[in-house]
Structure 1
Amino acid sequence: MPEGNDRSASPPTRRVVRVVELIAGDTGPAKGAEIADELELSRSTVAAILDTLDERGWVRRAPDRTYRPGPRLRTLAGASAAAAAMPTGTEDVLAELAERVGCGASLSLVTRTESEFVAVTAGPGRLPAGITTGTRLPLRAPAGAAVVAFADERRQRAWLDTAEPGQRPGLADALEHIRTTGAALWGIDAADPAMLDVLSEVVEHLTNDPAAQLRERVLSLLARISGEPYGSAQLRSRKRQPLTHLAAPVFDGTGRATWELHIGPLRQDVDLGERRHYIDELVRAAASLGPPPAGG
């Protein structure tokens, strides 16, 4: 419908709805000019609409200047394509896992560029900090380690390159341990849990706030300070040690590590027996969602 012939009760509202419907559809990312031409609207009108939608988190502009659904639109739409394709019984498995380990549990889809949380169960605690279903984070080490550990060497190198040079040896060691034990463990300095807790509260307050971009910046900060991977000595040690979270891979029907299952004790002192309990429960739950390939 040409812009001049829009006879709805509220033409401006109708134009916004049409833009949102197009972006939320199955046509894929599109540039502002393409959206304007498709809807027969002026490019200046569409540009103004997109700027406001992007500011409020309803759409997101990519570096190539295309637009795609933003976090608010994905949440409103309900389960995303990733959530729709997640393993059968995920919600029940997460609820049971959270109860058995006494903390929150979540499942994320890990792609080459991001990690999208497709299911989150708070359980007795909060995990991940400030994250809800539909949250997407850029794939930067250490995020996605449990999936990257089973990826090809090229993808592993690209993932390691997102970390600081001094962190890469420890992260490479962590990938090896994940392949051996089936789980990743992360610790944290004694002073950092308080910082995590404060940032978590900030994210929660911003969940329903128009400042969606600020919320995403805080989430990115949380991802970068989420802790250090356990090394060989820590895994074997009987000493009580801090433990923020654990992750295990979940495999799809082709035997490819696709999802990451998380639990987050966020505890300062965990003994060897407790660490083994967390690992056993996590690996068992991950296997129930998607058994590893034969010989894996």
Structure 2
Amino acid sequence: MVKAVNTRSGDQELVKGPVDKAMEVLEALVQPGGPHRLGEIARRTGLTKPTVHRHLRTMAEHGFAEPAEGGSYRPGPRLLGLAAAALSDSRVLELTRPVLADLRLRTGHVAFYAARHGSDAVYLELSEPAREYRMSTRPGHRSPLHACGVGLAILSVMPAGESAAVVDAPDLEARTHNTLTDPAALRAELARAALRGYAVDDEYDEPDVRSVAAPVLDAEGRPVGAIGVAGLSFTLDPGSVEVFGPMVRAAARTVSAGLGARTPALGVVDPTTGGEGA
């Protein structure tokens, strides 16, 4: 949620240390739609403009930020280099990229991988078809776990105690009119996702957008992320969900197997029925 500019007093800001504030500024800096003006970053973080300017100036000195036109800032070359190095060295992304490309070709929809960070899902990799309409979700985008397909997929395989901390949290954010914010409804949805092996986001995160996602597990059986496909609701209709759900589930299991997870035997998806063959 966007916070008001300069509403926080100096005493309130002292609750957070300089590193905490720098991380907030850095996260706002890399949000889609950049370069971002100082006032916009202040609104996103709730920090005062002088505080934001001080951190941006330090980041620019070290190459993590770069001044742009009109007093705005964009990510700097050092930050981009570190991000590229981290992503290229990721085993899960190395396994995920060809799987996402295959899903994109087979479904005609954008395919993506997201990992959990706290109570959010963070999108790390996308494979997008060439079309005029593009999804708003980009790498680095965050969505609450309870409000998106990849988040629901992750929650469906988390230990009960860990998932309860998310499901029972007070004042769950309603991203759309369809977002599930009632704990009982959320638990029922997670039970369905666990039973079929994939979760369905029925316009929970964005209006008119539906997604299907399945969890990726590591060698210990812990969820490290989820793979999904998304499209406009009239193209990714309930019938398509029944076909693409098993495809996404098989794709996630392929990546999980590459990470050493013990998963059920994988079959070949029959695109005419949506089922898995022997």
Please indicate the TM-score interval, normalised by the length of the shorter structure: 0.5 to 0.7
Distance in structure 2 (CA, Å) of the matches to 1:86 and 1:126: 32
2:246 to 266, 272, 280: 280
The size of the alignment, in residue pairs, is 195
Distance in structure 1 (CA, Å) of the matches to 2:188 and 2:206: 17
Matched letter for residue 169 of structure 1: A
Matched letter for residue 286 of structure 1: A
CA contact (8 A) 2:253 2:263 kept: no
Task: Provide closer, same or farther for how the CA distance between residues 75 and 155 of structure 1 changes in structure 2, counting only shifts above 3 A.
Answer: farther
Cross-structure match for 1:158:
165
Structure 2: where are the runs of 5+ without partners? 1-17, 23-49, 66-72, 175-179, 266-278
Matched letter for residue 115 of structure 2: L
Q: Give the drift of 1:255.
A: 1.6
Normalised by the length of structure 1, the TM-score is 0.54
Task: Provide closer, same or farther for how the CA distance between residues 275 and 140 of structure 1 changes in structure 2, counting only shifts above 3 A.
Answer: closer
Task: Provide closer, same or farther for how the CA distance between residues 277 and 129 of structure 1 changes in structure 2, counting only shifts above 3 A.
Answer: same
Matched, 1:186 2:201: yes
Distance in structure 2 (CA, Å) of the matches to 1:250 and 1:183: 11
Cross-structure match for 1:173:
188
Q: Give the drift of 1:82.
A: 6.3
2:124 to 118, 121, 127: 118
Structure 1: where are the runs of 5+ without partners? 1-28, 34-44, 60-69, 189-223, 228-241
Cross-structure match for 1:139:
144
Cross-structure match for 1:90:
96
Q: Give the drift of 1:109.
A: 1.1
RMSD: 3.8
Q: Answer with 1 or 2: which has the greater Rg.
A: 1
Cross-structure match for 1:109:
115
Percent identical among aligned pairs is: 16
Cross-structure match for 2:206:
226
1:78 to 76, 80, 83: 83
Aligned residue for 1:98, secondary structure, equals helix
Matched letter for residue 262 of structure 2: P
Q: Give the drift of 1:263.
A: 0.3
Q: Return the structure number with greater relative CO, CA threshold 8 A, min gap 6.
A: 1
Distance in structure 2 (CA, Å) of the matches to 1:155 and 1:126: 40
CA contact (8 A) 2:212 2:241 kept: no
Matched letter for residue 99 of structure 2: V
CA contact (8 A) 1:107 1:260 kept: yes
CA deviations 1:241-269 (Å, max 9, x no partner) are: x8711111011122211111110122326
Cross-structure match for 2:136:
130
